[in-house]
Amino acid sequence: MNLLYLNSNKMGTGPEELGKKLLITYITKLATQKVQIDAVFCANEAAFLSTSDVDAIKALKALETNGAVISTCGTCLEYFSLKDALQVGQIGSMDLLLQLQQQATKIYQP
């Protein structure tokens, strides 16, 4: 089982706009690769990816179409007041994240 673990809405530590663009490109490219992503877990600021970032939602939906189960941390959604804004996937928990990490043979984290 392959897990994509996202804990930010950007990639790297450089300029925010560049980091966001890099992450969206990464997710989009990953959806077109031969590698099967079975689960995606969004935590911390990655909650914005499944709720309010149109390009990220499109990329995550592509992964979902390919069979990935998308989950976003419920505590994170509540913290950022995004619980009602979820656009893709389901609300997840730390128990789910731990279960996914234990089952994963490979964890992708950009």
Task: Say how many C-beta atoms besides its own lie within 10 A of residue 3's C-beta.
Answer: 21
Superfamily of domain 2-108: DsrEFH-like (3.40.1260.10)
Q: Provide DSSP, 43-56.
A: -GGGGGTTTT-HHH
Give the residue from 92, 64, 66 showing the smallest Cα distance to 7: 92
95/102 Cα distance (integer angstroms) = 11
- Residue-by-residue pLDDT tens, the chain, 110 positions: 999 999 999 999 999 999 999 999 999 999 998 889 999 999 999 999 999 989 999 999 999 999 999 999 999 999 999 999 999 999 999 999 999 999 999 999 99
